[in-house]
């Protein structure tokens, strides 16, 4: 039936398979072949009313044919308005693009079909099915979804149905949010579908119908929580092989009662704090905007390269190889991070300051015989009358101070061959370059975040 209708709307497109079926419509994969160039789209078909029983229910309330038709026409009109808003956001890298739409009415009954053609993407559930989401992927997912929610906020749209089923992945690896806005009007037909269909991710206050845009932040927090908790929602045992319906019901009751979540088992301490704040039972304690949530996720992401730099410089093997000390001074807030004693404001991690370090002593360079502070070569110094070279003043290099070192003498000769001294100098220079690079990277991160 849909194939026949599609030929009259977009004759160049052909349905090839059903991708999914939801509460308000069916999504198909469509293909177009023009001069050997293959293109794909996803076409969603929404029928209003969904079932004949919905029309009977309206008539049972005392509405005649004209009143019933007017009721459903209003639903169609508002749905089209929502589609227009989404179409205007086409081109955003984190929102599913709507390419075209049309509305067909049934001539012999009170019914309409809305055809929406969208970009063809990979379902997030298919994307993640054969892999475990690491923390970097989860943070990117969260930040991409926050980008989508930022645009929704500018348009005054509350999604209310942020969940894995409504997240998609582009060929370029961007995560995109779909199926929002439209469902708000369709809820007028059957409100119970919304509550039962998304109860695993809805914020507690949605059930009271008094809520704001922070419900989307809560739902996104739950998505991130589940991905880092062995694919289990709060209060479900992450190590249990099977979870029965009673367990789901009990976990849902504990979440809706406001009980504090246990920590997701695969999240770092910093990310745990961010996720649990997004999922606060009290809406006023959550991040109030998607931008706040995104900034907090970005701060956690920026901690990792800083810690890797500090850890690299603190490794004994690397320190010995480069002539660096085995212990590097670490800022107090980074020590707290490693010991899981995190401050309340996770964003403070974005501006760590690496303290100067004392590098290992360097051997003095071998000077040529053309200046007044020259060091006589080993062959030119008589063994009976050793002559010590005049010490060369050592400059301060980098943020730390390099201590002057005088060579020890054995039988009147320096206890270091020129070649070894040259190698040591190179090692010292490399150490300084690494330290300066680390400070520059941290500075760039701090400037970017401010």
Average pLDDT, 10 consecutive residues per value, the chain (450 residues): 82 92 83 93 90 74 82 87 82 88 88 92 92 93 96 86 93 89 47 51 87 93 97 94 90 95 96 97 96 96 56 46 44 45 43 44 48 42 50 48 43 48 66 80 72
Pairing of strands 112-119, 37-48: antiparallel
Render pLDDT for 51-108 as a digit per residue (tens, 0 to 9).
Answer: 777 777 777 777 788 888 888 888 888 888 878 878 888 877 899 999 999 999 988 8
End-to-end CA distance of the chain, in Å? 56
> CA–CA separation, 103 vs 409, rounded Å?
95
* pTM passes above 0.85: no
Q: Which residues of 88-117 are buried (b: 16+ CB within 10 A; e: fewer)?
A: ebeebebbbbbeebebeeeeeebbbbbbbb
Q: Burial level of 318, CB count in 10 A (0-12/13-18/19+)?
A: middle
Pairing of strands 175-177, 167-169: antiparallel
Which positions ≥6 away from 321 have C-beta within 8 Å?
A: 427
Residue 49: predicted pLDDT: 85
């Amino acid at each position: 039936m849909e194939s026949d209708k599609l030929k009259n709307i977009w004759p160049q497109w052909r349905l090839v398979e059903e991708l999914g079926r939801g509460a308000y419509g069916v999504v198909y994969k469509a293909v177009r072949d023009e001069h050997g160039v293959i293109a794909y789209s996803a076409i969603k078909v929404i029928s209003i009313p969904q079932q004949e029983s919905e029309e009977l229910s309206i008539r049972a309330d005392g509405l005649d044919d004209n009143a019933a038709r007017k009721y459903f026409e209003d639903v169609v009109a508002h749905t089209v308005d929502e589609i227009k808003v989404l179409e205007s956001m086409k081109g955003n890298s984190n929102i599913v693009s709507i390419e075209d739409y049309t509305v067909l009415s049934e001539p012999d009954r009170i019914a309409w079909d809305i055809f929406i053609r969208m970009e063809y993407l990979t379902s997030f559930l298919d994307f993640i099915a054969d892999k475990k989401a690491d923390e970097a992927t989860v943070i990117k997912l969260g930040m991409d979804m926050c980008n989508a929610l930022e645009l929704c906020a500018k348009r005054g749209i509350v999604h209310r149905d942020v969940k894995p089923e409504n997240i998609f992945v582009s060929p370029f690896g961007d995560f995109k949010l779909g199926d929002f806005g439209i469902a708000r009007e369709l809820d007028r037909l059957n409100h119970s579908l919304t509550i039962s269909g998304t109860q695993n991710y809805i914020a507690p206050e949605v059930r009271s119908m008094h809520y704001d845009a922070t419900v989307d932040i809560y739902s996104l927090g739950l998505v991130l929580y589940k991905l880092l908790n062995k694919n289990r929602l709060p209060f479900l045992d992450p190590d249990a092989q099977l979870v029965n319906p009673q367990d789901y019901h009990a976990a849902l009751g504990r979440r809706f009662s406001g009980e504090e979540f246990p920590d997701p088992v695969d999240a770092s301490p910093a990310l745990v704090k961010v996720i649990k704040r997004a999922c606060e039972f009290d809406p006023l304690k959550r991040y109030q905007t998607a931008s706040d949530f995104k900034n907090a996720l970005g701060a956690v992401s920026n901690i990792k390269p800083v810690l890797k730099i500090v850890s690299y410089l603190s490794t004994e093997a690397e320190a010995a190889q480069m002539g660096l000390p085995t212990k590097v001074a670490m800022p107090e807030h980074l020590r707290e991070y490693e010991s899981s004693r995190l401050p309340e404001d996770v964003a403070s991690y974005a501006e760590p300051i690496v303290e100067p370090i004392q590098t290992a002593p360097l051997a003095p360079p071998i000077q040529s015989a053309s200046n007044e502070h020259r060091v006589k070569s080993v062959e030119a110094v008589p063994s009976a009358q050793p002559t010590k070279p005049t010490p060369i003043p050592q400059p301060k290099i980098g943020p730390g101070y390099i201590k002057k070192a005088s060579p020890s003498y054995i039988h009147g000769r320096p206890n270091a061959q020129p070649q070894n001294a040259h190698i040591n100098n190179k090692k010292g220079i490399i150490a300084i370059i690494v330290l300066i690079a680390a400070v520059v990277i941290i500075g760039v991160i701090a400037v970017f975040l401010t």
